[in-house]
Amino acid sequence: MSISIPGPESLEILKKGPRLFKDGGRYEEAAADAAKRGLKPPPQMINAKGEGAYVIDADGNRIIDFHAGWASNPLGNANPEIIEAVQGAMKQYGFIYEHSLRYDLAEVLTDISPGKKFTRTNFEISGTEAAEAAVTYAITAAGRPLIITFEDQFHGDSIATRLLGSNRGAHRRLGFEAWRGGVITVPWPHSYNIPAGMSFEQYTDYVLWYIDSFVCRKIADPETIAGILAEPLLSEGGNWIPHPKFMPGLRKLCDKYGWLFISDEVLAGMGRSGKWWAIEYDDVQPDLIVIGKHLTGGIEPIAAVIGTEEVLAANDGHSGSTFAGTPAGCAAGLKTIEIMKRDGLVERAAVLGEKYLERMKKWESEFRIIGQVRGRGLLLGATVINPETGQPSVDLARAVHNEALSRGSWIIWDSEPQIRFYPALNMDEEILEKGLTLAEDAIREIDRNYSENNYPFWTTGVLW
The amino acid that residue 389 corresponds to is T
CB-facing half-sphere around the CA of 379: CA atoms within 13 A: 30
Burial class of residue 117 (count of CB atoms within 10 Å of its CB; 0-12, 13-18, 19+): middle
Separation CA 402–CA 370 (nearest Å): 16
Q: Three-state DSSP class for 109?
A: helix
Residue 342 Cβ, how far from ligand PLP at the closest point, in Å? 25
**Of 278 and 446, CB closest to ligand PLP:** 278
Separation CA 289–CA 197 (nearest Å): 34
Residue 414 Cβ, how far from ligand PLP at the closest point, in Å? 9
Residue 129 Cβ, how far from ligand PLP at the closest point, in Å? 7
**Of 94 and 169, CB closest to ligand PLP:** 169
How many C-beta atoms lie closer than 10 Å to residue 72's C-beta? Answer: 20
**Of 68 and 432, CB closest to ligand PLP:** 68
Separation CA 303–CA 168 (nearest Å): 24
Residue 350 Cβ, how far from ligand PLP at the closest point, in Å? 20
**Of 231 and 416, CB closest to ligand PLP:** 231
Residue 221 Cβ, how far from ligand PLP at the closest point, in Å? 28
What residues make contact with ligand PLP under the rule CB under 6 A? 70, 126-128, 131, 154-156, 231, 235-236, 264, 266-267, 292
**Of 126 and 166, CB closest to ligand PLP:** 126
**Of 139 and 443, CB closest to ligand PLP:** 139
**Of 10 and 122, CB closest to ligand PLP:** 122
Separation CA 80–CA 314 (nearest Å): 40
CB-facing half-sphere around the CA of 298: CA atoms within 13 A: 26
In Å, how far from its chain's centre is CA 59? 28
Which residue is at the shortest CB distance from ligand PLP?
127
Q: What are phi and psi of 343, to 5 degrees?
A: -100, 10
Separation CA 47–CA 57 (nearest Å): 4
Residue 105 Cβ, how far from ligand PLP at the closest point, in Å? 17
Q: Three-state DSSP class for 320?
A: coil
Residue 267 Cβ, how far from ligand PLP at the closest point, in Å? 4
The amino acid that residue 158 corresponds to is S
